[in-house]
Structure 1
């Protein structure tokens, strides 16, 4: 099982089937907040849906195609983060993340994204890490900006969110740039 301690407060840990109830409750409490930017929220209507998601992430990890973890802050599940996809041929990882509304503004996600980027370059031997965020999602876009990622462009109508398209901003970081930044 994957477990990565970032600091005394934050741990990234692979979820197990037994975590489905807690994950579902977290999503359900934050449903309206998360729905503004995440297209999968309406598809997670039951604990069984959360269980299926956990099974999918376990399969992706076993196939080395992704790494999705729960974010535990002071022992409590508060969100999810990881590599939505891992492209081993091109040595690229795509970071994705979300955090329950109650835990915003504590620096949690900046520490998580920084640790994932470090992990990508030092443990997974990736050359590039990418983060994409909806153009209007100022909070999510602040993370790669804060970490020194390069804003590389905008993809028009990149994602369908329930009843409209949103544009994405693409941020990239190369291993060589990361070493010079940190």
Structure 2
């Protein structure tokens, strides 16, 4: 079967039923991060159920209605991508992805997904590629955005999972929006990097499911002289990086703010040579001192191209008042 390189150390290949032992070992490593978002991880708990999962996708591949493909890094299975739906009659398909921690931060999912999307458009003449994601899955939403997809909307309380009904965001890209092989990638590459910086910033605060927030990464995405501005009261409050990070680290680790996550829901980015500007809308939710809250607001972010690459230089935000439920 085919194997495609997706970097110097990584490859993409079909994830067939005979690979079930390797697949099961990988899912066991990835279960804590994958299980909340991909239901089949819940059911792949031993060799027979792991084999059954891969067989279902093999059957879909045989009938031209889906498929599953693994990502190997240095010879170890660390994740994959899939066509969860592939409908040639309507010209619409859906892709998805998953990854264990050992494969994170290397662009593997983005490169693998681009191969699937490009094949769907150029080889199979599909009209639309979709990405369905639980509204709280910030990493997957970031992956859709980096592919250049557009958020079409939210299917409220669409999918039940473990007794809870989840909102599902639908993202998509159309064939006419997908860059051809001959098009330059400089602008799209810059946009992808600016998207990544924002994803890192937003993801730094997440402490859902026992995840420990990593606020130190904020220093990596900002220039050292960066400023973060809260414009939510009578007067703006201007922070340097240390003044912004430390009180939020305390709130996110001392029990004041739990099950917290924030995500961009819309964003518009403009690039002007070595500077860029982004205007975005965000949603956030969590427990504050034991009370559930949901909120939203807007951010404006400035970027600079530095000798170390693109960095944030300043960010200002304004909250819409949060709603609290007991």
Q: TM-score, normalised by structure 2?
A: 0.53
Distance between the aligned counterparts of 1:82 and 1:43, measured in 2? Answer: 17
Q: For 1:40, what is the secondary structure of its paired residue? A: helix
Question: Are the aligned partners of 1:14 and 1:70 in contact in 2 as well (CA < 8 Å)?
Answer: yes
| Aligned residue in 2 for 1:106 | 106
- Whose helix proportion is higher, 1 or 2? 1
Question: Are the aligned partners of 2:153 and 2:170 in contact in 1 as well (CA < 8 Å)?
Answer: yes
Q: CA deviation at 1:2?
A: 4.8
Bigger mean CA offset, 34-43 vs 162-171: 34-43
Distance between the aligned counterparts of 1:16 and 1:40, measured in 2? Answer: 15
| Aligned residue in 1 for 2:146 | 146
Higher RCO, Cα 8 Å, sep 6+ = 1
* Alignment gaps of 5+ in structure 1: none
Q: CA deviation at 1:71?
A: 1.4
Question: Are the aligned partners of 1:39 and 1:160 in contact in 2 as well (CA < 8 Å)?
Answer: no
Distance between the aligned counterparts of 1:148 and 1:27, measured in 2? Answer: 28
| Aligned residue in 1 for 2:206 | none
- Whose strand proportion is higher, 1 or 2? 2
Q: For 1:179, what is the secondary structure of its paired residue? A: coil
Higher Cα Rg, which structure: 2
| Aligned residue in 1 for 2:36 | 36
* Alignment gaps of 5+ in structure 2: 186-326
Map Cα deviations across residues 94-132 of structure 1 (whole Å, 9 max, x no partner).
Answer: 001111122222211111222211111112221110011
| Aligned residue in 2 for 1:93 | 93
Question: Are the aligned partners of 2:17 and 2:58 in contact in 1 as well (CA < 8 Å)?
Answer: no
Q: What is the count of residue pairs matched by the alignment?
A: 182
Query: What pairs with 1:12-161 in structure 2 (closer than 5 Å)?
Result: 12-161=12-161
RMSD of the alignment, in Å? Answer: 1.8
Map Cα deviations across residues 52-76 of structure 1 (whole Å, 9 max, x no partner).
Answer: 1122111111100112111122322
